[in-house]
Chain A
Amino acid sequence: MICTKCQELLSDYIDGALELGEQVSIERHLADCEPCRAMRDDLLQIVHFSHQLPLQAPASSLWPRIQSDLTELRPRLWDRPLRWWARIRSFNFNLSVPQMIAGAATLVIVISIGVIVSRRDGPAVNSDTATRLSQVTPLSNADLQQLEKQISKLSDSVEQRKESWDPELRIAFERNLYYVDQSLVECRHQLNDNPADDVSQELMLNAYREKVRLLEGFDKF
């Protein structure tokens, strides 16, 4: 499966709306494709956050009001860009050489300031993210680091062996690894929302252990 096809089907995949064959093809592709996995995680995040949004029923009078507003606005919306375009076209762009140089210089200065400001903002954003991560990781004690190291080592070993496995076994492994990873993503989201949540911490640690168990089990093949 190619990336474009995979990304086209990802939404249905997350909703569980695909047939088994397509689901398996996607899981195979995801196992080998980092960008598609990242996209899947992004979609999972969106699904997660949308689940947290409160359900609010609009008043019954809202839709007729919106409809009447839209009917009124429609000609204006179409008119506005046309008017702007007409104005731009009516401008006289005959500039002198000093005017053009002054304009170019102004443009260069504005762009330079923009670049400097964005570079200054860069590390601030990163440090903010780092602070949030450090808040999220009261789990990152020696035990957790050891588990992550163990997982990385086992994953490498399993990846090497996987090619020689029976296809049915490989599919079962990838499907179950996906379930564990999905649980870990969910735990991380919940810890992002509430870093002091004991239950999420406990569940996350347990999910890591489960991942170790899964990889150890398949490392024997």
Chain B
Amino acid sequence: MVYRSNTRLTTSICAPVILSLFLFATGFACSADLPTRFERSYSPHRTVHLTISNVNGKIHVFSWDKKTITVRANAASSVLIEDEVVGDDIAISTKRNLRLGRADFEVWVPPDTSVIVKNYMGDIEVRGVNGHVIVTSIDSDVRLINIKSPSVDVRVTSGDVYFEGELNEGGSCSLQTMKGDLDVTLPAAASFNLNARALSENINLGTFLSNLTGSSRGPKGVSGTYLRGGPRLSLTAYAGRIQLHKK
């Protein structure tokens, strides 16, 4: 009899506790998988330097005709995104932690913004930017489209790099990949000083080759002046080909 009443008492206490623990654990597990959304807008008075630092996920930067900068990210709940504004510098970064959560960024900027993108894994795209562009990543395909920047610097360890845009007078464009192809499209009337290096595959200058003067050509490198020269175009591919196209 006593035994029965104890069992009932134990059951009546334990059942709700176990049930609530189960619901809590289930809720926690579900919330861990749910993406979180990060969204910020900035209204700078002057031209800014925007830095996006990510670990795992894509980063797309677009230009628009507004004066504001808008950053949106969909991230795993384990990813913490922080922003910091100091003077003309805006920095947005995902905190590194042992769980490799994904964060995908979409960013809209005024065209004259200088953009610095740092990533470990995940594709990167920058469109329509006229400010300085710096991209560094480990494992990313990089696409730079409609770029009219005074300086472009791209370094990836593995991934293809695609550039389509114009080179500014007195500016520089440096693209490098250790494992991947470089594909560059320039206007037919572009003039530049070329320094192209491909360690193990071909350099194909297409129709740019015919007007390249003062050039030195070796098995791994081509350098020379195209038309009037001017901007420095530096292309380096260790295990991949280099291809130049006219727009």
Where the two chains meet, the residues of A that have a C-beta atom closer than 8 Å to any C-beta of B are 164-166, 168-169, 172-173, 175-176, 179-180, 182-183, 186-187, 190, 199-200, 202-203, 206-207, 210, 213-214, 217, 220-221
Contact = CB atoms under 8 A, between A and B. Distances in A.
Q: 8 nearest interchain CB pairs?
A: A166-B100, A183-B238, A179-B179, A176-B157, A199-B221, A199-B220, A169-B100, A179-B178
Given A169-B100, A190-B220, A217-B120, A203 B238 contact: yes
Given A176-B158, A202-B197, A166 B98 contact: yes
Interface of B: 56, 96, 98-100, 120-121, 136, 138-139, 155, 157-158, 176, 178-179, 197, 199-200, 218, 220-221, 236, 238-239
B170 to A, nearest CB: 24
A207 B238 contact: yes
Given A175-B158, A203-B236, A221 B220 contact: no
Contacts of B155: 210, 213
If over half of B's interface residues share one DSSP class (helix, strand or loop), that class is named, otherwise mixed; here it is strand
If over half of A's interface residues share one DSSP class (helix, strand or loop), that class is named, otherwise mixed; here it is helix
Given A179-B239, A213-B155, A186 B200 contact: yes
B158 A186 contact: no
Contacts of A172: 120-121, 138-139
Contacts of B221: 199
B236 A176 contact: no
A37 to B, nearest CB: 18
Contacts of B178: 176, 179-180, 183, 207, 210
Contact of B239 (A165, A169, A173, A183): A183
A154 to B, nearest CB: 14
Contacts of B121: 168-169, 172
A20 to B, nearest CB: 14
A203 B199 contact: yes
A186 B220 contact: no
Contact of B157 (A165, A180, A187, A190): A180
A203 B138 contact: no
Contacts of A175: 139, 158
Contacts of A183: 178-179, 199, 238-239
Given A199-B220, A210-B157, A186 B120 contact: no
Given A172-B138, A221-B98, A200 B158 contact: no
A176 B98 contact: no
8 contacts: A164-B98, A168-B56, A175-B158, A190-B199, A200-B220, A203-B220, A203-B236, A213-B157
Contacts of A214: 138, 157
Contacts of B120: 169, 172, 217
Contacts of A220: 96
B199 A187 contact: yes
Nearest to A206: B236
A62 B158 CA distance: 45
